[in-house]
Amino acid sequence: MTARLPEFCGLVALVGRPNVGKSTLLNILLGQKISITSRKPQTTRHRITGIDTRDQYQAIFVDTPGIHQTQTNAMNRYMNRAATSTIADVDVTVFVVDRLSWNEEDELVVQGLMVAKSPVILVLNKIDRLTDKSRLLPHIQSLASVFDWAEVLPLSAKTGYQLDQLREAIYQRLPKQSHLYDADQITDRSERFMAAELIREKMMRQCGDELPYQVAVEIESFNHQGHVIHISALIWVEREGQKKIIIGRAGEQIKKIGTDARKDIETMTEKKVMLKLWVKVKSSWSDDERMLKSLGFDE
């Protein structure tokens, strides 16, 4: 009889300031998109859980919103709280920074890391964009005094450079315990939640800098009818001008948002999707605590 190998399982936080590639890194590690991405900072608003199971190892990744200090409304307070509270509860923390860039928001993350009881791996992402590699080692040496890093890894989520080394560094630090999820499960988020996120991603990609952060998606209905899923979604904005941007001339913009989102939702669910979108205006919703809770923002 073959002896069963011991299992290792733990929570892994992905933290960092906005737009350093945390969500892209998570999607690449999992081999499937569960966290939306765009060029716009602060794309991630909620803690997204991704589950990576390989042989006896199970890493439960938590992709947190980017920690920042430039916005002070209720939505951003929720997002900062979600990110910093995660750090205290995990087995491994992966702090992602952008190549040789280091600023006040990175320092803010380091302050949050002071509560971490777990090892912290520093990842210098987007290394494929670094033209002068001779600057890398001095930068790593300068960061050695900032925090007691368990490991420092330059990598590229885009090209996969050093990705296996990161995975191994995480696996080595997972506690010995039984897996918490089935081997084929890659997220604990519902299809309903993921549908809202995919719609929001398409808006951010289509509208670009024209669209501010005060945009949210609420799924009004998500019904399975045979092999078809019928979804009705509300897009919340704060001003009439934002509504016009999303709808576009003769409704072309919202039509494209809906088409692109529907295709991704069909890929995710492996079913045909009928998607209906509406845009509504509610002034200052991003500073309304009651509405934020109704939209699923964590306390």
Residue 48 and residue 93 in one domain? yes
In a domain, residue 176? The reply is: no
Residue 95 and residue 60 in one domain? yes
Reported as a pLDDT band with limits 50, 70 and 90, residue 299 is very low
Mean pLDDT lowest among 30-34, 73-77, 142-146 = 73-77
CATH number for the domain harbouring residue 118: 3.40.50.300
Looking at the chain, the whole-number percentage of residues with pLDDT higher than 90 is 43
Identify which of 49, 39, 66 has the alpha carbon closest to the alpha carbon of residue 12.
49
Residue 12 and residue 92 in one domain? yes
Q: Identify which has the larger pLDDT, 265 or 293.
A: 265
CATH number for the domain harbouring residue 243: 3.30.300.20
Residue 248 and residue 161 in one domain? no
Residue 31 and residue 143 in one domain? yes
Residue 58 and residue 114 in one domain? yes
Give yes or no for residue 273 having a pLDDT over 80: yes
Task: Give the amino acid at 153.
Answer: L
Give yes or no for residue 232 having a pLDDT over 80: yes
pLDDT in tens, 152-198: 999 998 899 999 999 999 999 999 999 999 998 888 888 998 899 89
In a domain, residue 104? The reply is: yes
In a domain, residue 68? The reply is: yes
Reported as a pLDDT band with limits 50, 70 and 90, residue 19 is confident
Read off the pLDDT of each residue in 27-36 and give the average, rounded to a whole number: 81
Mean pLDDT lowest among 16-30, 169-183, 216-230 = 16-30
In contact, 70 and 42? CB cutoff 8 Å: no
In a domain, residue 73? The reply is: yes
Residue 45 and residue 144 in one domain? yes
In a domain, residue 124? The reply is: yes
Q: What is the pLDDT of residue 297?
A: 62
Q: What is the pLDDT of residue 177?
A: 95
pTM, two decimal places: 0.74
Q: Identify which has the larger pLDDT, 124 or 74.
A: 124
State the total domains in the chain: 2
In a domain, residue 152? The reply is: yes
Looking at the chain, the whole-number percentage of residues with pLDDT higher than 70 is 81
Residue 74 and residue 146 in one domain? yes
Q: Helix (H) and strand (E) counts for the chain? A: 9, 9
Give buried/exposed letters for 197-218 (b at 16+ CB in 10 A, else e).
Answer: bbbbbbbbbbbeeebebbbbbb
Residue 196 and residue 167 in one domain? no
Domain of 279 in residue numbering reads as 191-294
Q: Identify which has the larger pLDDT, 70 or 185.
A: 185
Distance CA 286, CA 74 (A): 6
